[in-house]
Every structure is written in C-alpha cells, then in structure tokens.
Amino acid sequence: MTATWEQAGLWAAVLASGLYHGLNPAMGWPLAVSGALLARSARTLPMSLGYLGAGHALAILALTLPFGLLVSLAAWEVRIRLVASLLVVAYGIALLVWRRHSRALARIPPARLAFWSFAIAIAHGAGLMLVPIYLGLCLAQGDAGHRAAGALALGNASTAVLVTAVHTTAMLATGGGLAWLTFRYLGPQFVARSWFNLDVVWALSLVLVGGASLALLAMD
C-alpha cells in the first residue's frame, strides 16, 4: 500500500512539474503568441506550441534515459540516486548564484522553436528536475535485484517515455491555454506583463526536489 501511494505521489510530481513549466513564460509560450500575432493566424499557434513541446520533450529524454539505463545496474542503484539528487541541488544553487543567461541562448532565432525549447529546457534544468522523480518510478517497478538487467532497462526506457509524455502534455495544456487566451482575448499587453522573472523560484524548486529525493533516499 505504501509503495502504491509513493508511486502516486511521484506521478503527481511529474504532472505538477509539467503544469509549473507550462505556466512559466521562460518555457516559450509568449513566443508562440507573438508568432501567431505577427502572422495574424490562429493556425500558427498550435504549430508553434508543437515545436516547443517537441524540444522540451527531447530535453527530458536526453537526461532521464541515460540515468534509467544506469539504474539497471542494481549494485549501483543507491549511488546513482544519490548523485542524481546532488546534481539537482547543485544546479539549483548554481542558478541562484549565477542568474545571467548564456549569450548563446540569445543567438537562437525564435523561428527555430524546437531547438530553442530544447536548449532552454537543458539550460534551466527542466529535465534534470525530473530525474530523481523518474528514478523513483523506475524503482517502483520492482526489485532490481530480481530482474534481468536488459528487461529492467527496457522498462526504464518505457517509463522515461511515459514520464516525458505526461509532463509535456501538462506543460502544453497550461502554456497552450495561456497562449490561446492571450492570442484570442487578452492581447499582446498581457504577454509583456506576464514575462515575470521566475528564475529564483525555479532555482529553489530544483533545490527542493533534490533535497526531497535525498530525504527519501535516507529513509530507504
């Protein structure tokens, strides 16, 4: 029963992080609105959101899949979870200390939304935030010591795809909803006003997720 509740809590965290990322203007929904307003076409909006979602999903898979394959090595499971949690905490602290964005990100034209979304998600640690949650879900599949490594690796890969799908769908639902409301009713003024700075909140959330993962690891 405890394992079931733990798994439900982890999936809730995947969903909540997707909703949070969707609400954050830094993940790109204002760019989708701007493109649709410039093109004066509502059809441009879902296409732009699709590019943003694709880039975001690829960034998550690029980080979760390698960790999932490593967890297949049961003897290293605790160390891998520890390293992943510490990485998330360290990245959050780094973002708190160095708040300037890389100039390389500014050189990516908005027309390349998929690549822009991938780079932004990597730079902000969007995929890294999901790694401890994802590893918890991988371990909830069963005792790694009683599974063949190949079968567990395949299961972890499918979990990574499912985590990515749930997270990205939640992100697009919230971000897409805001983008549609802005394009249809609120207008470009809302885009300018909504570009609030969530850098500190984002960094603190990384520290919180990593810290929670370390706490759960200590309790196991």
Please, which residues have CB within 8 angstroms of residue 57's CB and are 6 or more apart in sequence? 164, 165, 168
Instruction: Check residue 193 and give its pLDDT.
Output: 62
- Does the pTM surpass 0.85? The reply is no
Please, which residues have CB within 8 angstroms of residue 42's CB and are 6 or more apart in sequence? 36, 183, 184
Instruction: Check residue 54 and give its pLDDT.
Output: 93
3-state secondary structure of 195: coil
pLDDT digits (tens, 9 = 90+) for 140-166: 555 444 444 444 455 677 888 888 999
Alpha-carbon span 156 to 72, nearest angstrom: 8
Instruction: Check residue 57 and give its pLDDT.
Output: 93
Is residue 202 within 8 A of residue 124, CB to CB? The reply is: yes
Is residue 181 within 8 A of residue 31, CB to CB? The reply is: no
Alpha-carbon span 88 to 63, nearest angstrom: 12
Instruction: Check residue 146 and give its pLDDT.
Output: 42
Q: Which segments in the chain show pLDDT lower than 50? A: 143-152
Alpha-carbon span 79 to 167, nearest angstrom: 26
Give the other-Cβ count within 10 Å of 157's Cβ: 17
Domain count, the chain: 1
Please state the length of the chain: 220
Instruction: Check residue 176 and give its pLDDT.
Output: 92
Alpha-carbon span 83 to 72, nearest angstrom: 15
Instruction: Check residue 110 and give its pLDDT.
Output: 57
Instruction: Check residue 151 and give its pLDDT.
Output: 46
Q: Considering just the CA atoms, what is the radius of gyration of the chain in Å?
A: 18
3-state secondary structure of 28: coil
Residue of 56, 165, 62 whose CA lies nearest to 117: 56
User: Domain containing 151: what range?
Assistant: 2-219
Phi, psi at residue 17, to the nearest 5°?
-65, -35
